[in-house]
């Protein structure tokens, strides 16, 4: 298969030196890329700004903002046989980014606007391609994961908590398109990636 994977955070500029972002390391996306390549799939990784090095052999397209990631994903979607949206995309961005560094005391609040929903955009256009999405939740996780699955027209949603960020091992729940869920217990991200590609064969 030709596999399109999103990974890492996005950064939404406030001014030339500050930005809104999150703690994503890209580790899940890297594990997915390794699992895909072990099965001889072609991998295109649309990668937000991370410190780690992506797996050797994956084609990487680097982006910074959510809008850049959306443009790249939609450009590459016709190429892909399967899409896995593991990036932690910033939900909001500043309405305006300042052209010069904002000084202390020059602002006390930010006006935010909603970023595009990349997974939902894929879901609208995916056709027969399988789509896997991820949900990080702190409360009522399965309920929210089922809702996310439906809203994004995805085939599988992987649920985890904040403890998965930056960790190699975490607890995961798999929610299927038919609404059923499977508690996978604690797995490494590589083990989880292998389980997902077993489903996508």
The catalytic residues are 22
Which among 163, 22, 154 is positioned nearest to 174, based on CA atoms?
154
Neighbours of 59 (CB within 10 A): 12
How open is the CA angle 124-125-129, to the nearest 5 degrees? 110
Residue among 98, 35, 93, 99 at smallest CA distance from 64 = 93
Do 136 and 166 meet the contact criterion of CB atoms below 8 Å apart? no
* CA atoms within 13 Å, Cβ hemisphere of 157: 28
Tell me the Ramachandran region of residue 40: left when phi exceeds 0, alpha when psi lies from -120 to 50, beta otherwise: left
- The rounded distance, in Å, linking the Cα atoms of 122 and 21 is 22
Tallying the residues shown for the chain, one arrives at 201
């Amino acid at each position: 298969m030709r596999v399109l994977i999103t990974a890492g955070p996005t950064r939404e500029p406030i001014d030339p030196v500050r930005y809104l972002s999150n703690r994503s390391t890209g580790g899940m996306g890297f594990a997915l890329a390794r699992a895909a390549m072990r099965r001889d799939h072609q991998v295109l990784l649309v990668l937000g700004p991370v410190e780690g090095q992506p797996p050797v052999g994956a084609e990487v397209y680097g982006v910074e903002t959510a809008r850049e990631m959306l443009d790249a994903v939609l450009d590459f979607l016709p190429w892909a046989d399967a899409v896995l949206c593991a990036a932690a995309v910033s939900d909001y961005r500043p309405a305006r980014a300042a052209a010069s560094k904002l000084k202390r005391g020059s602002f006390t609040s930010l006006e935010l606007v909603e970023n595009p929903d990349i997974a939902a955009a894929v879901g609208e256009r995916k056709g027969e391609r399988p789509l896997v999405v991820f949900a990080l939740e702190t409360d009522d996780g399965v309920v929210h994961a089922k809702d996310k699955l439906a809203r994004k027209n995805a085939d599988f949603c992987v649920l985890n908590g904040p403890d998965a960020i930056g960790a190699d091992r975490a607890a995961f729940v798999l929610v299927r398109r038919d609404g059923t869920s499977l508690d996978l217990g604690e797995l490494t991200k590589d083990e989880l990636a292998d389980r997902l590609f077993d489903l996508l064969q």
